[in-house]
Chain A
Amino acid sequence: MNEEKIKNLLIISTACFMVLFSLLPFAYMVLTSINAAPDFLAKGWNLTFENYKNVLGVESLHFLDYLKNSIIISFISSVATVFVASLAAYAITRLEMKGKIFILLFVLGISMFPQVSMIGYLFKIMVYFGFINAYPALIFPYIAWILPLSLWILVSYFSQIPRDLDKAAMVDGCSKFQILFKVLFPVALPGIFSTALLSFIFAFNEFIFALILTTDYHSRTIPVGIALFEGLHGQVPWGQIMAASTITMLPILALTLIFQKHIIGGLTKGAVKG
């Protein structure tokens, strides 16, 4: 075997392993969700959609409320985060100011506080503002929590856009804001998209803040909702939990598929060639 073949073999086997490794739990999840008994490996196959029917149909489980809360909260958080992060990234990469690197490091440092260490004070603040069990209780912390990551991604993205583009736009008569909105944002769109999607996923999956700062289905999000699922009959309702998880996966899957082109472009084609 020549080197090329070995290389291909290695790449393919690694890829297969990684795909299997990460997809197996999902497969198990989907299979459990469509079986009458969760221990279907022992008790045998018994196909049913009862779990889905319960999760979607039974009002008192509030599953659809959780889903709606999650989508609204994550959407608002990610849009706001990316908007602020884009402006900040523009300022950091393009404007003259001292100590840029310290700002970036400071922001990074803040993002390293463990969530648990903040949650107590956060709870007090939210009580003070009367936000507990309302959307703002999660939206504001999420924005603050995701911002550092978005900022870092966008800074690296913006700094790859050639400076000559700004200069060309300026000579063509653009003001600073026109440079931003007519040139840099459109050029960075794939990066902004993938950052927004990443922020969305982060907010969508967040658990601790959501657990502490919400109390019931009016604002509780999916991860907490599923974790606290009680089921209709008392015991841990694995089938329903898995059905709920499967449905929860769908919005993210849909988003990823729709924006696939942009995301891959965003991750690999950072260097924008004039």
Chain B
Amino acid sequence: MKIEIKNIQKEFKTIGRRSVNVLRDINLEMKDGEFFVLLGPSGCGKSTLLNIIAGLENPTGGKLVFDNKVVASGNKNECISPKERNVAMVFQTYALYPHLSVYENIAFPLRIAKMDKAEIDKQVRKSAEILHITNHIDSKPSELSGGERQRVAIARAIVRKPRALLFDEPLSNLDAQLRTATRIELKKLQRELGITTVYVTHDQVEAMTLGDRVAVLKDGFVQQVDSAINLYEKPANKFVAGFIGFPNMNLFDVEVLREQEKLYIQFEKDRFYFDNSSVKAGVKYCMGIRPADIEVASDNENILKGKIDTMELLGKEVLLYVSSNNMEFSIFTHKKGFKENQEISFRFDQSKIHFFEK
């Protein structure tokens, strides 16, 4: 199913009568069968947007369209109930019904839909098998581990063949190892089912590995929608640049100047010459460079000088925190033999510098 989100707005009236504009103007389109990820910092309205898609909240403006049919809009009369939308949702807290067995939990949506008994049994067993929980089918949710509960929740979501699957940070209560394993399975499962999936997370690794496309949300607006690799390589603005990628991108306010034909950036002491046709001289930019795109130099040409404050060993590579020109740079390198307080010189990979308008 294709989901179109057009100019969706959501304003909450709080008790003190102060209203909060959580979503200001959201425009997105999720293609049929796509694995779409909503990524953003805590409190940016990801869950709110998901709830609007599910029909748990109504938007205060804009339109939500499922396959060319309006299912919600600023006008309450056009909002149809979750039941009629036939979407399924998996929650961070799993939200299993504690009084029902695993079997009955999975069967619940089918029973509400008054499906015939034999058919329910068939569907429940099939979903349980897909999620490998057949052994636990008679247990109560309280007798299961976190990972197993999450599988039950997913089984309950897929059992009635929904038109869309919605996930709200489903893995964040699992430990790191299980999270990775479940992530991979989830991706596979979604491919097999081919159901349009909207997945909310604040974890960029999850977003990057799962999503066919990722939308970055902040301040009630979509900051960028793109494939994971494009978000990393071509961030549209300073926020996305800083939010995506680990270790975090170095970001500085700089002024670009020109000396004859060559552009350069004037740091406090050092100058860095570079070549970039899209940048104008005499303009202030925010410059971004990823730690991995800074090279520790052994020669003296076009370099910045600095001193290592601290360093972190990350497996084979090392992350240096270098102070230079009254600024903090982080540099990610696989060279070895650095010491704290050591003087080093380094240079940027010219083609990897990002300039964001201020």
Residues of A within 8 A of B (CB): 162, 164-165, 167-175, 178, 182-183, 186-187, 189, 272-274
Contact = CB atoms under 8 A, between A and B. Distances in A.
B109 A173 contact: yes
Contacts, number: 68
B95 A165 contact: yes
Interface of B: 51, 54-56, 82-83, 87-89, 91-100, 108-109, 112-113, 141-142, 149, 156, 166
Given A167-B89, A171-B56, A274 B98 contact: yes
A183 B97 contact: yes
Contacts of B95: 162, 164-165, 167-168, 274
B112 A170 contact: no
B165 to A, nearest CB: 11
B97 A178 contact: no
Nearest to B90: A168
A182 B97 CA distance: 10
Q: Is the interface of A mostly helix, strand, loop or mixed?
A: helix
Nearest to B166: A171
B98 A167 contact: no
A173 B107 CA distance: 12
A170 B97 contact: no
Contacts of B88: 171-172
10 contacts: A164-B92, A167-B91, A168-B91, A170-B83, A172-B112, A175-B83, A183-B97, A274-B94, A274-B98, A274-B141
B82 A171 contact: yes
B99 A173 contact: no
B113 A187 contact: no
A266 B53 CA distance: 36
B168 to A, nearest CB: 9
B98 A170 contact: no
Given A168-B89, A273-B142, A174 B97 contact: no
A168 B91 CA distance: 8
Contacts of A175: 83
A175 to B, nearest CB: 8
B142 A171 contact: no
Contacts of A178: 112
Nearest to A186: B99
Given A167-B56, A171-B82, A186-B99, 10 more contacts: A165-B95, A171-B56, A171-B87, A171-B166, A172-B88, A172-B109, A173-B82, A173-B112, A182-B112, A274-B95
Contacts of B97: 165, 168-169, 183, 186-187
4 nearest A-B pairs in the assembled complex, by CB-CB distance: A164-B95, A168-B95, A172-B109, A173-B83
A189 B100 CA distance: 13
